[in-house]
């Protein structure tokens, strides 16, 4: 499943994802069971692609927070992937009913991080206030035909007036752009005086796109491995709690060193099958 590239237009991306048909409840359940029981990556991909259009719909809720719409979609897609991984088909509800919470959570977290280098909300209540404040102001203004006072907003949201004042101050004093001119002549900007030794934004973006391609092709790449190689990659290299070489050796009746050699060969095959994997994955030493 491809995340939308930043160079593509939103319209093209939406046209592409609309080619994926929606799943009926029965189809969705069968695919989810396949993924849960057998770690079927093709089933997971179908679950994701069939719900991509809902991510775009939810992204519209946050497009007025002055962040790139395509970035919102990307974050929502990551939330959707996480939801598919955690989804329990036996609970009786549809995937999107569960996924919507993860999609919104990833989008909201992205908006808050993008809004300011200083945390807008350090508690759940403050984060909620961040997203509810503008909605409440618009609703009260529509009713009274005038700008609402802090007291009115506080009563509507059931919070203290002081909290409204603090959040309003933060919203109205967003971080200064690094490209903003320092002097009237405009010859010097804030970014001119910064020293950064880390990776550039371009390098970070390339790395992110590479990882997106890896996720897309990993299922096909695993099909090129034999039984032992496939097991080692799934339950050692890719696992959250990787098995030791000794345990793998005991399973296949081989030595610990032979298990290490098989792991190395399997990783080489993956690099060939996935061209965007430019850096050799680090081996787990134990």
DSSP assignment of 216-239: HHHHHHHTTS-HHHHHHIIIIIS-
Q: How confident is the model at residue 58 (pLDDT cuts 50, 70, 90)?
A: very high
Instruction: List the domain range (segments joined by +) for residue 269.
Output: 205-273
Q: What is the pLDDT of residue 238?
A: 76
The CA-atom distances, in angstroms, between 250 and each of 205, 232, 253 are 41, 13, 5
- Does residue 264 form part of some domain? yes
Q: What is the pLDDT of residue 37?
A: 94
Q: How many domains does the chain have?
A: 3
Q: Which is nearest to 70 in space by CA: 203, 207, 176, 208?
A: 208
Q: Which is nearest to 138 in space by CA: 125, 156, 124?
A: 156
- Does residue 215 form part of some domain? yes
Q: How confident is the model at residue 141 (pLDDT cuts 50, 70, 90)?
A: low
- Does residue 237 form part of some domain? yes
- CATH number for the domain spanning 34: value is 1.20.120.1810
Do 108 and 17 fall into the same domain?
Answer: yes
Do 83 and 135 fall into the same domain?
Answer: no
Do 15 and 111 fall into the same domain?
Answer: yes
The string of pLDDT tens digits covering residues 25-45 is 999 999 999 999 999 999 999
Do 59 and 89 fall into the same domain?
Answer: yes
* 107 touches 79 (CB < 8 A): yes
Place of tokens 């949201």: 157
* 224 touches 266 (CB < 8 A): no
- pLDDT tops 80 at residue 117: no
* 174 touches 112 (CB < 8 A): no
Q: What is the CA radius of gyration of the chain?
A: 24
Q: Which is nearest to 274 in space by CA: 238, 240, 241, 239?
A: 238
- Does residue 187 form part of some domain? no
- Does residue 278 form part of some domain? no
- Does residue 236 form part of some domain? yes
- Does residue 191 form part of some domain? no
Averaged confidence pLDDT in the chain = 77
Q: Which is nearest to 81 in space by CA: 276, 212, 233, 239?
A: 212
Q: How confident is the model at residue 158 (pLDDT cuts 50, 70, 90)?
A: confident
Q: End of a domain among 63, 88, 115?
A: 115
- Does residue 184 form part of some domain? no
Do 108 and 122 fall into the same domain?
Answer: no
Helices (H), 184-226: 201-222
Residues in the chain: 286
Q: Select the more confidently predicted residue: 182 or 77.
A: 77
Question: Hey, what are 124's tokens?
Answer: 């759940």
Question: Within 10 Å of residue 11's Cβ, how many Cβ atoms?
Answer: 8
Q: Select the more confidently predicted residue: 238 or 192.
A: 238
Do 35 and 74 fall into the same domain?
Answer: yes
Question: Within 10 Å of residue 182's Cβ, how many Cβ atoms?
Answer: 13
The CA-atom distances, in angstroms, between 122 and each of 42, 94, 96, 119, 247 are 39, 32, 28, 6, 43
Do 135 and 168 fall into the same domain?
Answer: yes
């Amino acid at each position: 499943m491809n995340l939308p590239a930043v160079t593509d237009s939103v319209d093209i991306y939406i046209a592409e994802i609309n080619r994926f048909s929606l799943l009926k409840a029965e189809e969705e359940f069968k695919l989810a069971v396949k993924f849960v029981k057998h770690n079927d990556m093709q089933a997971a991909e179908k679950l994701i692609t069939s719900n991509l259009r809902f991510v775009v719909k939810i992204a519209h809720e946050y497009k007025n927070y002055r962040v790139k719409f395509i970035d919102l979609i990307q974050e929502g897609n990551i939330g959707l992937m996480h939801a598919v991984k955690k989804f329990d088909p036996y609970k009786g509800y549809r995937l999107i009913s569960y996924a919507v919470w993860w999609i919104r959570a990833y989008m909201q977290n992205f908006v808050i991080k993008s809004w300011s280098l200083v945390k807008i909300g350090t508690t759940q209540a403050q984060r909620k206030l961040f997203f509810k404040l503008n909605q409440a102001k618009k609703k009260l203004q529509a009713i009274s035909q005038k700008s609402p006072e802090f007291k009115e907003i506080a009563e509507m949201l059931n919070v203290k007036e002081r909290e409204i004042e603090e959040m309003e101050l933060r919203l109205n004093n967003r971080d200064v752009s690094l490209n903003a001119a320092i002097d009237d002549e405009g010859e010097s900007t804030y970014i001119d005086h910064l020293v950064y030794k880390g990776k550039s934004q371009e390098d970070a973006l390339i790395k992110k796109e590479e990882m997106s391609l890896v996720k897309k092709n990993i299922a096909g790449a695993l099909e090129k491995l034999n039984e032992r190689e496939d097991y080692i990659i799934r339950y050692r290299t890719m696992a959250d709690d990787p098995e030791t070489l000794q345990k793998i050796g005991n399973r296949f009746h081989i030595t610990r060193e032979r298990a290490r050699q098989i792991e190395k060969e399997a990783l080489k095959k993956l690099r060939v099958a996935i061209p965007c994997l430019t850096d050799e994955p680090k081996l787990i030493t134990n």
